[in-house]
Structure 1
Amino acid sequence: MLNCTRIYADDQGAARFEDIRIPMTPEEPGPETLSVSEVFGASGLIFARAVAGGGHPDQPEPRRALGIVLAGSSEISASGETRTFTTGDILLIEDTEGVGHSSRTADGFLVALAILDPPR
C-alpha cells in the first residue's frame, strides 16, 4: 500500500485532510515482479513550481489532481490544520468546491500533477 493524503471539501465546503492508502497488487512484490495500483484515469500531466517564499491564499482547485512532490517542500493548510509535504509525498487533491486550501513554501518546490478524470 502507498500512503497518500487526500484533500477534499466536506459537506459545509471546508477543506479537510484525510490519510488514505492506495492498494498495491500484490501487496509485496517478489524479486522479479512489480506491485501495481489500479489505474487512475487522467487527461493530462502538468508540472508546477514555486520559488522560496511562494504560495497562495485559500482557494479551491480548478480540477481533481494526483500530485507527487518531486523536490522541495510545501506547507498546505486546510480548515486550520497545516501539514508539510516533501519529496516523494503523494496528494489526492479533490477540494474543487468550497473555501479550498492555502499553501506556502519556505524553500520552493516542484510537483508533478496528473489531472484526473471526473469521478464516476
Structure 2
Amino acid sequence: MALDYPEDLKYLDTHEYARVDDDLITIGITAFAVDQMGDIVFLELPDVDSAVEKGETFGTIESVKAVEDLHSPISGTVIERNEAMLEAPEQIADDPYGDGWLIKVKLDNPEDLDEAMSVEEYRAQVEGE
C-alpha cells in the first residue's frame, strides 16, 4: 500500500503532523503511523483550554500492538479536540489527514514549526526505515 503524505503539512519524526492555518494548528498522526500501529482501539486527548508544549506528550494512542505517546509539534492552547475520534478511534485509519485529526491548537510561537520536517524530509525518513 502506498502511503499518502500531503504536501501542505509539517511533520515530526515521531509521526505527528501539523496543518497550519494562520495561528490555528491541526494536529494528527500520519498514515505511516496508523499503518505501523494496526487497529487503533483507544485514544486519550487533552481537554479544551489546556496547554500543550512543543515536544511534550499531549495524549496517547493505543492499538492492538502498542501504546504510543502523542507529541505536540508546537506550544499553544487546545481550542478543539476531535470527540468523534475519542468515541471511535479506529476511524482515524479511514482518513488520518481529514476527519481523523486529533486536536486543534492556537499557536503561541510560529517559530515552533521551524524544526518540523517538510514532506520530502518525512518521506525520506519513513521510506528509509
**Higher Rg:** 1
- Choose between structure 1 and 2: higher strand proportion: 1
Larger helix proportion of the pair = 2
Q: TM-score category by the smaller chain?
A: under 0.3
Q: TM-score, normalised by structure 1?
A: 0.26
